[in-house]
Amino acid sequence: MSGRLLLVNGPNLNLLGTREPGIYGSATLADIERITADAAAEAGYVVRAIQSNHEGVLIDAIHAAREDCAGVVINPGGLTHTSVSLRDALTGVALPFAEVHISDVHAREEFRRFSYLEDVATVRVIGQGAQGYAEAVGRLIALIP
């Protein structure tokens, strides 16, 4: 397997930096992609990043990752709480993956506390802001054979 990771950011994460900065901070999606790429580069990995507001686009990218990626870092956004299809894509490609959430979802609304990915994720990083992506990369890479 190559030294590549797929970074997946789900619906509304394109609005980072302007969307509810009291919850999500001031980092933009471009900042998140840079943080992730820098953390991966330290371990000799490169990152292919995708963000979409469309579930099928994310699923297609995850399917394609099995051809050339060693793992996936994903912030599924609102799909965390609703998407069996996203879960099936991640388990179907059998790549280790890290689930990341910028905010502490356990301290927010009740519906945000459930994740379809939590019991199948290799790594979970919650509530560490934008730097949580770097934490997820480091922890995930440490577990990749």
Q: Could you list the active site residues?
A: 24, 101
CA distance 84 to 21: 29
62 is in an annotated binding site: no
Amino acid identity, position 120:
V
Q: Which of 39, 40, 14, 41 is nearest to 29 (CA)?
A: 14
CA distance 97 to 86: 12
139 is in an annotated binding site: no
Report whether 51 contacts 10 (CB < 8 A): yes
112 is in an annotated binding site: yes
74 is in an annotated binding site: no
**Count of residues in the chain:** 145
Summarize the annotated binding site for substrate as residue ranges: 75, 81, 88, 102-103, 112
User: Residues within the annotated binding site?
Assistant: 75, 81, 88, 102-103, 112
